Amino acid sequence: MSKILVAFGSTTGSTETLAEEIVEKLEAASHEVNLTNVTDIEIDELDTEYDIYLLGSSTWGDADVEFQEDFEEFYEDMEGKDLSGKKFAVFGCGDTSFPNFCGAVDELEKRIKELGGNLVTSGLKVEGEVEEADLDNWLSKIL
């Protein structure tokens, strides 16, 4: 059994719904999961003893990648944080009509790598509702 933090930022509710689906599946597999809105935690939460950290943000903006507004501050606070030895996976919702589909996922992964964190799998990028098989496959790579 793993202890997992799932932190998300959501404006329209899509990323929150995705986070809840992730948690439901993890709990069904007997993992201890803490689901939280990114506005309810501080960056020091990444210093706690979780086995893995799942971070979720939707993507906004046409040309430049914009994080979901609640996630922006957390992302900025990550700068300079030592994430060595920590395991991460990233998820997010976006719109394929924009040139940087789920670019916030890419930016989070880049920052995690720069700070020494270990990405256990590539990010889960979703438009609309997630396909159950895609979610199951992504979670299997994490666990």
- Contact (Cβ atoms closer than 8 angstroms) between residue 13 and residue 68: no
Burial class for 132, CB neighbours closer than 10 Å (0-12, 13-18, 19+):
exposed
pLDDT at 64: 66
Average pLDDT over residues 7-25: 94
Least Cα distance to 75 among 63, 92, 99, 50 occurs for 92
pLDDT at 107: 93
Return the CA Rg of the chain: 14
Burial class for 17, CB neighbours closer than 10 Å (0-12, 13-18, 19+):
middle
Q: What is the pTM of this model?
A: 0.94
pLDDT tens readout for residues 17-49: 999 999 999 999 999 999 999 999 999 999 988
Rounded CA gap, 135 and 55, in Å? 15
Reported as type and span, the H/E element at residue 19 is: helix 14-28
Class of domain 3-142: alpha beta
Higher pLDDT, 126 or 69: 126
pLDDT tens readout for residues 109-139: 999 999 999 999 999 999 988 999 999 999 9
